[in-house]
Chain A
Amino acid sequence: MISIFLRRIVSLIVTLLVVSLLIFTVMNLLPGNPAAIMLGTSATPETLAALRTQMGLDEPLVVRYLAWLAGVLQGDLGQSYTYGVPVAGLIVERLAVTLPLALMAIVMSVAIAVPLGVAAARRHNGLFDYLAGAFSYVSIAVPAFWVGLLLIIAFSTKLGWMPAGGFPGWNAGLWAGLAALLMPAIALALPQAGVLTRVARSAVLDVMGEDFVRTARAKGLSDGAAVWRHALPNALIPVVTMIGLQFTFLIAGAVLVENVFNLPGLGRLALQALSQRDIIVMQDVVLFFSALVIVMNFLVDLAYLVIDPRLRVAT
């Protein structure tokens, strides 16, 4: 168990290093000089040279990568050119919006998908099963940011029940913050719920055919109890896996939904950095998002080992 754990950790570190190298290479080897891109065409040669020195662009590539990496490891992600503040602080500030948003979306999607998937599996090939299938098809096909637009039209423009966007900040109170994130989280959760419903349904169907579930029912356990006590816990493994696999799409969705609702989150920060040509912020945000996806997948891997002892055998 411990050796597997150590091996996973080493592989995680190597993956993160390679990702950082990849992002750095893309951002620094593509045609175009970062300093010139940041300053635009009207910059004088003097300001350009000054920025080049400030950004350390005159150093060799390897030195710059190592300097960036060393900084990242110490929590120093560099200075934002447009905001004039450390990028690490910016990311932490924006994370206070993106992280609760993503968590709310995950909780909502599971809360929709698991009961729906279980109910569909229990009425296999019945009317409810078909309705749940139709729900999955439609919600997977619908773009999250469009759901956001529709929610704004219905609940903000027409009914006036909810704010159309913006974020009051957590200082305005927990409830005000959660209320501002409610519609964005629903928009983000819906496509995820479609995917998870399918997974939950087929996982429960698979497990219900297993011997131990039949035994449980033969012992006199009711149909419902057999599902909730025995089938569901086993079916959760594929659901958890899928949450991990879908995390990339959740982040992509968050970038879009944040822009629909004008939420000051990480996705919006990335887009603002792009329009302001703030290369350092972009590089750090992309690294942060990618690291998040990788660590998430790592945690899912670990969760397996905890949930399913059969996987603890070294492979």
Chain B
Amino acid sequence: MGGIFRRPVLLIGLVVTLALVGVALLSLVWTPSLPSKMNIVQRLKPPLGPGGLFGTDQFGRDVASMLMVGAWNSLSTSFLAVAIGATVGSAVGVIVAMRRGWLELIVMRGCDIIFAVPPILSAMMLGAFLGSGRFTAIIAIAVFMVPVFARLTLAGAKQIWARDYVTAAVGIGRSKAKITLVHILPNISNQIIVQVTIQLGLAILTEAGLSFLGLGMPPPAPTWGRMLADSQTFFGQAPWLAILPGMAIAVAVLGLNMLGDGLRDMLDPKTKAG
């Protein structure tokens, strides 16, 4: 970690991500004002005035507070989705690497198939039956993440299975399950961590899209995506309502992508990113 200051991508990514997580956590205990508190007299006040740092929306609610709670809603939804997708996908990947044969063929085809249905569409399908909401959004995003992690861990695990020390472990009679736990998983954990970071960025983008379409967390919980959807009526009077939540999304995704690339460069010197 000593070289972190010589890795600007990693440093910027880390700082932005930590700031984002900090804001999200802070919103649980403190926001400048209650994000749901309406104040019609103060409606549509521009930023840096009596309306507060980021101004107010059409109901006079404090935009800064809404963005903070939105950070928590967006991050927690995305994190849960990626955690589920990474756990299930990685488990599938290492198990397939252990068994190989026809199982590998079927699982890889299955990955192609799941990957063909964009999460926005699966969220719509699920939403028709389960109702739109956070649960539907998490499941739709997680399902899309499973093939990503299954492919990654399978490819990584296959490489490790070919190593001499694994062959030796097989030779002394270690069970495949034990080898997977002791040798395979620790050796591919770096790759999984890097991928989790990058997929978190993608999950935030998807969650914002779902919320924008009304398929995310229901009101009154503020989400970045719905703030953008609501802003469309007020383009002329209040452009900041459309600019600020989008910047929040972009900064969050940028931070996570840079952190992911930086981590990859640091953990695996063989690959060069962008």
Residues of A within 8 A of B (CB): 11, 14-15, 18-19, 22-23, 26-27, 30-32, 37, 133, 136-138, 140-143, 145-146, 149-150, 152-153, 157, 164, 198, 201-202, 248-249, 251-252, 255-256, 259-260, 270-271, 274, 277, 279, 282-283, 285-286, 289-290, 293-294, 297
Task: Decide if B209 touches A143 in the complex (CB within 8 Å).
Answer: yes
On whether A137 and B257 interact (CB within 8 A), knowing A145-B209, A271-B124, A274-B128, the answer reads yes
On whether A277 and B128 interact (CB within 8 A), knowing A138-B254, A149-B231, A150-B242, the answer reads yes
Task: Decide if A143 touches B205 in the complex (CB within 8 Å).
Answer: yes
Interface positions, chain B 232-255, Cβ under 8 Å from A, are: 232, 235-236, 239, 242-243, 246, 249-251, 253-254
How far, in angstroms, from A207 to B138 measured CA to CA in the complex?
41
Residues of B within 8 A of A (CB): 109, 112-113, 115-122, 124-130, 201, 205-206, 208-209, 212-213, 228, 231-232, 235-236, 239, 242-243, 246, 249-251, 253-254, 257-258, 272, 274
Task: Decide if B201 touches A141 in the complex (CB within 8 Å).
Answer: yes
How far, in angstroms, from A249 to B206 measured CA to CA in the complex?
10
Task: Decide if A31 touches B129 in the complex (CB within 8 Å).
Answer: yes
B158 shortest CB reach to chain A, Å: 16
On whether A271 and B117 interact (CB within 8 A), knowing A146-B246, A282-B128, the answer reads no
How far, in angstroms, from A158 to B2 measured CA to CA in the complex?
49
How far, in angstroms, from A252 to B117 measured CA to CA in the complex?
9
Task: Decide if B109 touches A18 in the complex (CB within 8 Å).
Answer: yes
On whether A150 and B250 interact (CB within 8 A), knowing A15-B112, A37-B129, A252-B209, the answer reads no
Task: Decide if B236 touches A157 in the complex (CB within 8 Å).
Answer: yes
Main secondary structure of the interface of B (DSSP, over half): helix
Task: Decide if B127 touches A274 in the complex (CB within 8 Å).
Answer: yes
Task: Decide if B125 touches A23 in the complex (CB within 8 Å).
Answer: yes
Main secondary structure of the interface of A (DSSP, over half): helix
B236 shortest CB reach to chain A, Å: 5
How far, in angstroms, from A251 to B119 measured CA to CA in the complex?
10
Residue A286 contacts which of B125, B208, B258 (CB distance < 8 angstroms)?
B125
Task: Decide if B228 touches A19 in the complex (CB within 8 Å).
Answer: no
